[in-house]
Structure 1
Amino acid sequence: MTAAAPDAFVDDRLAKRNALLLALAQAIGGASASIVIATGPLVGYMMLETDKSLATLPVSAMVLGTAFGTIPAGMIMRRYGRRTGFMGASLLGAFSGLLASYAVFEDRFLLFALACCLGGLAGAFVQQYRFAAADTASDAFKPKAISWVLAGGVLAGVVGPQTVIATKDLFEPILFAGTYLAQAALALIALCLLAFIKIPIPPRRSHAQAGGRPLRVIMAQPRFLVAVACGICSYALMSLVMTATPLAMIACGLTETDAALGIQWHVLAMFGPSFFTGNLIARFGKERIVSIGLALLAGCAVVALTGIELAHFWTALVLLGLGWNFGFIGATAMLTDTYRPEERNLVQAVNDFMVFGFVAAASFSSGALLNIYGWSTVNILVFPIVVLCLGLIAWLVLAERKAVTTA
């Protein structure tokens, strides 16, 4: 026992070092997403002369980039290692920021959307930071390692909007051109941090060694279907309302700074509860926490429908973030009940691809819905989807209880 202690100490010392570096990289490089969310629709609205319904396309392009990058990110890092993949993604993130800034200067909307898509591809690697933090950790330290990276996500929610506020007028009268130069600089800072992580490349396993059931068998499980449906709806509803909110705030006479600060509070509400959401799930159950999350999403819509003052928008954004946290994390926890360890990578990749695909569709449609039907319609759409998901959860709980009773 005494001989093993030094090794364990060395392992966790490396894990703590990696987790700290990844948390800092998350706080700095991960801020890119909140920058695009806070400014992308506004930039699109300013660039478009006729069809303003396409203003949210940059955010949709970013989400699509993340969706399509999820599986390649895993393949690249399995072959070349975490550090190589993360550093390459940071370079791509820096390039996307430079390209976006150039597009803003030149007033080229489609080029700007392409730059946001490339930023989304880089963001697919950022999604892996929390898993990478656990790679070199002991079982006892893994939860803390993941929490450190989540703390970086909370900081990213502050760094991004504050970057927008500090740089939006840097090249006045060309609004937000300096913001995307700053985004590129943040990606390069993250690159320098990521150069110091040390995570060994695990031995590759053949398909025969990996084993597992066919995907169609896994997807046929009622719990899988409900978990994916609730995950999609929680994330897509959040994206639908969040993407439209900056545009709605400007249309109601509020400022770009008001919108950026609203997104900041929203992102803090998204990630802040993650430190205790797991404990709540363990105490009250996955289905109950998902239901609370869905109720909070409905509460967001209620607040948004009661007024158009700054307090209404900010309160709605906070409720939206909290609802996403409980709904999406709870649904993810439900998903873990549906696969075996050897099936984990495949099922998680398929789930993320479906989720981000629907999220991209939601963010893209939000601009058209807002432009054609108005802010009220965007929020009214939340209610039937929430009711549908709550019905699916109730059906699952009753079906599983009946199965237990019958057995």
Structure 2
Amino acid sequence: MSSSLRSNINFIALISANTILSAAMPMLIILGGLAGLGLAPSPTLVTFPPSVQMLAGLLATGPFAWMMGRYGRKIGFIVGGALAVVGGALCVVALMQSSFFLLCIGHAALGAALACYQYFRFAAAEVVSEKWQPIAISLMLTSGLIAAFAGPQLFIITKDYIAAVPLAGAYGALSALSLIGIAPLLFMSKPVVSKQGVGARSDTNKRAALWHRPVLTAIVIGTVSQAIMVLLMSPTPLAMIGCGFSEETAGDVIRWHVVAMFAPSFVTGFLIKRYGVTPIAVIGLALTILSAAIAASGLTQPHFYGSLIVLGVGWNFGIIGATTMLVQVVPAEDRAFVQGANNTIIALVSTVCAFGSGAIVTSMGWTVLSLTAIPPLVLTLLFMARFAPVRTES
């Protein structure tokens, strides 16, 4: 897949680290709301810890892009993993001391770590030849398939490990897992990402690159795909528990949602090579609309399973399509700036969705929340019909 042994070593190190570190994501989907439910001083603040997590990710995205552009991917990912270790430990202490404030601080550190992990897919594309970039991005996301099974299962096994403090064991396991995930990064040769062009262009020229039509289209697709996924996924455990389902059932729905997010990655890259970026991205957005329609049509267990599974597949096609488009159209000298701006915009909109989802679910219900997801998706498809770039193939 790559042109040299050095590139192979880097790709193996990246995918190994991402496989381990990504297990934190499905665990946090379950943990954030449940921990908030136990410690929040008000029902309206139940989803505040995961919302703070999203906000911290927003604030950390730009600095991580700068750090990786200046010091390389290796240093950036190690710092991100270390933040996850600290964040998990803080949440354990928060639960032991019944401190909602400390819980939010812990989730802030975890949110910064998750923001860092968003650069794994870009790093994967940088260590292989251009024609293999869609495949490398897809394979990097397949590591999340293991996380889909390992994360929720680890939650179930460890959530009551500290009997007197529910959920503390799961946060402790998350911290330990993150420490293990740092190890493969130590084997990366450096620098992984070329530093050519860092600081070589003016801020005006870099900002202008964001308005280049293919770049703007990629950012819009990625932002909407991620934001709607967050909008529907984040409050799912709370909505299910409110409908009388158990924590285990809610965890299983999240498990299969995450499976659906990453399992298609085995073929998405090849589909992009065969049919181009735009058709795959369109299919992803259409599937996400279908997911919202399924969610709005009922509150039974099959509706929750069906909606979240279709949502996962839609996200996969949308995010891989957007990432591939961005990698292929952005020159090396603008890469760090554009990737940082892209992830910051995605984090900003996703943060708004995370905050809004809890308020909508608790005040107006799951059905209304599901219906609110449809208009932005339709508008994005209309935007693509006018501004989508020509077919991009490798």
Is 1:20 aligned with 2:15? Answer: no
Contact 2:71 2:191 in 1 (8 A): no
Question: What's the counterpart of residue 311 of structure 2?
Answer: 320
Question: What's the counterpart of residue 300 of structure 2?
Answer: 309
Shift of 1:111: 1.6
| Equivalent-residue separation in structure 1 for 2:130 and 2:380 (angstroms) | 34
Contact 1:15 1:133 in 2 (8 A): no
Shift of 1:153: 2.1
Matches within 5 A, 1:211-360: 214-336=205-327, 339-360=330-351
Q: Write the deviation string for residues 202-260 of structure 1: whole angstroms up to 9, x where unpaired.
A: 67446574579724433444444443333222211110010010100111111111111
Question: What's the counterpart of residue 160 of structure 1?
Answer: 151
| Equivalent-residue separation in structure 1 for 2:313 and 2:30 (angstroms) | 18
Distance 1:205 1:221, change over 3 A: closer
Shift of 1:108: 1.8
> Does 90-99 or 148-157 show the bigger shift?
148-157
Is 1:182 aligned with 2:173? Answer: yes
| Equivalent-residue separation in structure 2 for 1:80 and 1:146 (angstroms) | 22
| Equivalent-residue separation in structure 1 for 2:300 and 2:67 (angstroms) | 47
Equivalent position amino acid for 1:293 in 2 = G
Matches within 5 A, 1:186-225: 186-200=177-191, 204-205=195-196, 209=200, 214-225=205-216
Question: What's the counterpart of residue 30 of structure 1?
Answer: 22
Equivalent position amino acid for 1:309 in 2 = T
Contact 2:200 2:333 in 1 (8 A): no
Question: What's the counterpart of residue 74 of structure 1?
Answer: 65
Contact 1:23 1:153 in 2 (8 A): no
Question: What's the counterpart of residue 381 of structure 2?
Answer: 390
How many pairs does the alignment contain? 391
| Equivalent-residue separation in structure 1 for 2:281 and 2:268 (angstroms) | 11
Greater Cα radius of gyration, structure 1 or 2: 1
Find the residue that maps to 1:278 and give its secondary structure.
helix
| Equivalent-residue separation in structure 2 for 1:285 and 1:313 (angstroms) | 31
| Equivalent-residue separation in structure 1 for 2:193 and 2:243 (angstroms) | 53
Shift of 1:362: 0.3
| Equivalent-residue separation in structure 1 for 2:177 and 2:124 (angstroms) | 20
Distance 1:219 1:59, change over 3 A: same
Question: What's the counterpart of residue 93 of structure 1?
Answer: 84
Q: Write the deviation string for residues 322-380 of structure 1: whole angstroms up to 9, x where unpaired.
A: 11112232233444565433222222211111111100110111000000001111101
Q: Write the deviation string for residues 126-183 of structure 1: whole angstroms up to 9, x where unpaired.
A: 2233444455556677666555433322212222111111111222353211100000
Find the residue that maps to 1:307 and give its secondary structure.
coil
Q: Percent of pairs identical after alignment?
A: 36
Question: What's the counterpart of residue 404 of structure 1?
Answer: none
Q: Normalized against structure 1, the TM-score is what?
A: 0.86
Distance 1:208 1:36, change over 3 A: closer
Equivalent position amino acid for 2:372 in 1 = L
Find the residue that maps to 1:353 and give its secondary structure.
helix
Distance 1:389 1:88, change over 3 A: closer
Shift of 1:201: 6.3
> Does 66-75 or 279-288 show the bigger shift?
279-288
Question: What's the counterpart of residue 98 of structure 2?
Answer: 107
Equivalent position amino acid for 2:320 in 1 = I
Contact 1:53 1:370 in 2 (8 A): no
Shift of 1:53: 2.6
Contact 1:87 1:194 in 2 (8 A): yes
Question: What's the counterpart of residue 5 of structure 1?
Answer: none
| Equivalent-residue separation in structure 1 for 2:390 and 2:185 (angstroms) | 45
Distance 1:375 1:24, change over 3 A: same
> Does 325-334 or 245-254 show the bigger shift?
325-334
Question: What's the counterpart of residue 163 of structure 2?
Answer: 172
| Equivalent-residue separation in structure 2 for 1:326 and 1:105 (angstroms) | 41
Shift of 1:12: 3.4
Distance 1:379 1:143, change over 3 A: closer
Equivalent position amino acid for 2:82 in 1 = L
| Equivalent-residue separation in structure 1 for 2:295 and 2:50 (angstroms) | 21
Residue from 32, 35, 38 that aligns with 1:43 = 35
Distance 1:203 1:323, change over 3 A: closer
Is 1:56 aligned with 2:47? Answer: yes
Distance 1:229 1:81, change over 3 A: closer
Find the residue that maps to 1:253 and give its secondary structure.
coil
> Does 107-116 or 57-66 show the bigger shift?
57-66
Is 1:367 aligned with 2:354? Answer: no
Contact 1:40 1:58 in 2 (8 A): yes
Distance 1:309 1:230, change over 3 A: same
Shift of 1:320: 0.8
Distance 1:89 1:207, change over 3 A: closer
**Structure 1: runs of 5 or more not aligned:** 1-7, 402-407
Contact 1:58 1:116 in 2 (8 A): yes
Shift of 1:200: 3.2
Find the residue that maps to 1:200 and give its secondary structure.
coil
